[in-house]
């Protein structure tokens, strides 16, 4: 059975990242992300806005960077995978939620454009984790037996 689990979101943090360290020393950061959608109501013609809130979890060096450079209200581009959590609450009810496990992120905006004075001017691209540090790429799909296009196949 084939499957694919990838999410790309861009929005603003709903709270400051909460960074914790496991006994092994691995950092884990949790933060909320809000994305807004603006649309026009078909019946009234009125502009409306709808918000979507998602929890995001970052690990390792990425968690440390998120904790250092991001705060409530900051924009971020997140690439990750959906993760399903389920647990039993203290009252015995079963609970569950979906969240995004961060694989990559991108700084959005500039520090000097921010009216609060915070931001990313001190965050150099070299400070961001490399692909090998953030996660392993999935293996490339196997080649199919479909013929490939050559110069002779192009009609111009």
Q: What is the per-residue pLDDT across 29-42, written as a single tens digit (0 to 9) for each?
A: 999 999 999 999 88
Q: Cα–Cα distance between 10 and 109 in angstroms, integer?
A: 12
CA dihedral 97, 95, 17, 126 (to 10 degrees): -40
Task: Tell me the pLDDT tens digit for each residue of 76-99.
Answer: 999 999 999 999 999 999 999 999
| pLDDT of amino acid 114 | 52
- % of the chain with per-residue pLDDT over 90: 65
> Which pTM value belongs to this model?
0.67
According to DSSP, residue 112 is labeled: G
At residue 69, φ and ψ (nearest 5 deg) are -105, -10
pLDDT tens digits, 126-152? 334 444 444 434 444 444 444 444 455
Non-local (6+) Cβ contacts of 17 within 8 A are 29, 30, 31, 58, 63, 66, 67, 70, 71
């Amino acid at each position: 059975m084939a499957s694919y689990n990838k999410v790309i979101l861009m929005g603003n943090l709903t709270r400051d990242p909460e960074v914790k360290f496991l006994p092994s020393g691995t950092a884990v950061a949790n933060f909320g992300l809000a994305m807004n959608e603006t649309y026009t109501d078909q019946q009234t013609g009125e502009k409306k806005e709808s918000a979507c809130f998602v929890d995001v979890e970052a690990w390792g060096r990425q968690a440390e960077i998120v904790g250092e450079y991001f705060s409530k209200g900051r924009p971020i581009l997140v690439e990750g995978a959906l993760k399903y959590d389920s647990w039993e609450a203290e009252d015995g009810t079963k609970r569950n939620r979906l969240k995004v496990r961060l694989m990559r992120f991108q700084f959005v905006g500039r520090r000097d454009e921010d009216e609060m004075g915070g931001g990313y001017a001190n965050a150099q691209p070299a400070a961001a984790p490399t692909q090998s540090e953030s996660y392993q790429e999935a293996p490339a799909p196997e080649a199919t037996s479909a013929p490939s296009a050559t110069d002779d196949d192009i009609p111009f």
